[in-house]
């Protein structure tokens, strides 16, 4: 048996008035997803414990059956792994967004208007030239997503993800220390935020962006710090090798620690304009020499963060027509049977523009197994699914046929 998990990041939602009090999943036309759902077993999966932040790093590790309480060390360390950065035991790694602060000193958005990678690299290079030292450095990533590594820093700090607080005065959301041990680290990070604003505000890249009516990348923002995690590979845990396809460093970082092969697809953007067809083709191709493929599609999550319900509907219809249709058609032709699962990692409700702890809808199709009573894939319909509410490693064990 071969396996594909199609992870539609943040696709679940709450009912939205402009969609006729339907969720985007309910409102989207997804005939291929629904046809697969009718042959699947369904349910809800609790990916994030209520006492942990509902971040993609926790949620995706949970989907893959990792004990997040045991292995979670923040998002930065995962992105460091995806970028090939070898962290020392006392290196504190964290995400470093380029964000837009508006004229009222509020966080306008978490992405600096989805700044292109080429432009962001110019800004990160300048920050390294002006600010970096022996103890810390900025590492360029993709678009607004970058990394900061501080040697000897303390993880006893509280950092607010910028996508959680759009419209909030930035000074209210700056880094705080958990105790006296974290004070020096919090002070350093906050000082770097302020210094970055002084340097970035008048940079030629940002002057050009503003002249073109685009949001400037006029501040760095630190969040999700941690140290190198102690994770077993997926093969050690579940006996399967794997491959991961995404547009997001975080997901490749999880894959690196899980022992998955990283497959990069040209044109993968993490947005609604991503190369859906290329990612679907790469996933099917990867099955030839891989047990399990983790196909991560970010677009619906970004639409949720933008609060754009119509765009979120469109991303789901793209997923249906340009990914799921192809994967179903091609895997049915393969000599070896292929099990398919589809689910988000967490909800990203458009009205909230951030992640929530709610359980997510899932479906598991296994060739030869009988489906349950659910005929349409959405948040409400799957409540009648045979598998009910799962938690911990129950989803992955059901998917791999390790449970009755």
First to last CA, the chain: 16
| 89 and 63 in a common domain | no
CATH number for 333: 3.40.720.10
| 40 and 174 in a common domain | no
Range of the domain at 36: 2-71+232-399
In this structure, the number of other CB atoms found within 10 A of the CB of residue 21 comes to 11
pTM score: 0.82
pLDDT tens-digit map of 268-324: 999 999 999 999 999 999 999 999 999 999 999 999 999 999 999 999 999 999 999
Among 230, 342, 346, 256, CA closest to 295: 342
| 218 and 265 in a common domain | no
| CB environment 338-366: b (16+ within 10 A), e (fewer) | bbbbbbbbbbbbbeebbbbbbbbbbbbbb
Residue 110 placed within a domain: yes
**What are the C-alpha distances in Å from 67 to residues 47, 288, 299?**
10, 29, 26
Residue 324 placed within a domain: yes
DSSP label at 179? S
| 154 and 61 in a common domain | no
Show which of 165, 192, 226 is a domain's final residue: 226
| pLDDT-based confidence at residue 151 (cuts at 50, 70, 90) | very high
| 205 and 273 in a common domain | no
Burial class (CB in 10 A: 0-12, 13-18, 19+), 269: middle
| 89 and 46 in a common domain | no
pLDDT tens-digit map of 60-96: 999 999 999 999 988 889 989 988 898 999 999 999 9
The answer on pLDDT for 384 being more than 80 is yes
Q: What is the CA radius of gyration of the chain?
A: 21
| 172 and 155 in a common domain | yes
| 104 and 88 in a common domain | yes
| 87 and 113 in a common domain | yes
pLDDT tens-digit map of 160-201: 999 989 999 999 999 999 999 999 999 999 999 999 999 999
| 188 and 211 in a common domain | yes
Q: What is the C-alpha separation between 290 and 173, in angstroms, rounded?
A: 43
| 367 and 335 in a common domain | yes
Residue 239 placed within a domain: yes
Locate tokens 């609604």: which residue?
272
Residue 404 placed within a domain: no
Show which of 226, 247, 269 is a domain's final residue: 226
Residue 76 placed within a domain: no
pLDDT at 230: 86
Residue 77 placed within a domain: no
Q: What is the C-alpha separation between 332 and 365, in angstroms, rounded?
A: 12
How many domains, in total, are found in the chain? 2
| 337 and 309 in a common domain | yes
């Amino acid at each position: 048996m071969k396996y594909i998990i199609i992870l539609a990041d943040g696709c679940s939602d709450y009912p939205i008035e402009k969609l006729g009090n339907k969720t985007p999943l309910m409102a989207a036309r997804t005939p291929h997803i629904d046809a697969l759902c009718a042959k699947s077993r369904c349910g809800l999966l609790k990916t994030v414990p209520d006492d942990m932040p509902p971040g993609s790093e926790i949620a995706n590790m949970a989907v893959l059956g990792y004990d997040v309480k045991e292995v979670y060390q923040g998002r930065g360390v995962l992105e460091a792994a995806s970028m090939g950065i070898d962290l020392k035991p006392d290196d504190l790694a964290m995400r470093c967004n380029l964000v837009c602060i508006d004229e009222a000193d509020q966080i306008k958005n978490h992405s600096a208007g989805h700044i292109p990678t080429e432009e962001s690299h110019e800004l990160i290079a300048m920050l390294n030239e002006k600010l970096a030292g022996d103890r810390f450095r900025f590492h360029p990533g993709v678009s607004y997503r970058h990394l900061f590594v501080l040697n000897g820093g303390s993880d006893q700090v509280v950092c607010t993800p910028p996508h959680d607080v759009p419209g909030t005065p930035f000074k209210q959301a700056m880094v705080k220390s958990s105790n006296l041990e974290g004070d020096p680290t919090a002070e350093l990070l906050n000082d770097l935020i302020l210094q970055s604003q002084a340097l970035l505000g008048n940079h030629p890249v940002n002057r050009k962006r503003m002249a073109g009516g685009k949001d400037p990348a006029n501040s760095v923002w630190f969040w999700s710090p941690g140290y190198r995690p102690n994770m077993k590979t997926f093969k050690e845990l579940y006996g399967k090798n794997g491959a991961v396809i995404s547009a997001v460093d975080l997901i490749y970082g999880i894959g690196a620690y899980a022992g998955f092969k990283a497959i990069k697809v040209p044109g993968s953007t993490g947005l609604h304009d991503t190369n859906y067809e290329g990612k679907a083709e790469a996933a099917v191709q990867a099955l030839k020499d891989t047990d399990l493929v983790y196909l991560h599609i970010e677009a619906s999550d970004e639409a949720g963060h933008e609060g754009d319900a119509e765009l979120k509907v469109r991303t789901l219809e793209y997923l249906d027509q340009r990914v799921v249709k192809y994967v179903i058609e091609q895997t049915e032709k393969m000599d070896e049977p292929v099990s398919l699962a589809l689910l988000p990692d967490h909800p990203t409700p458009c009205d909230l523009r951030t992640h929530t702890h709610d359980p997510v809808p899932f479906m598991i199709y296994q060739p030869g197994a009988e489906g349950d009573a659910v005929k349409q894939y959405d948040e409400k319909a799957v409540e009648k699914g045979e598998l009910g509410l799962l938690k911990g490693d129950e989803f992955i064990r059901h998917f791999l046929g390790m449970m009755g």
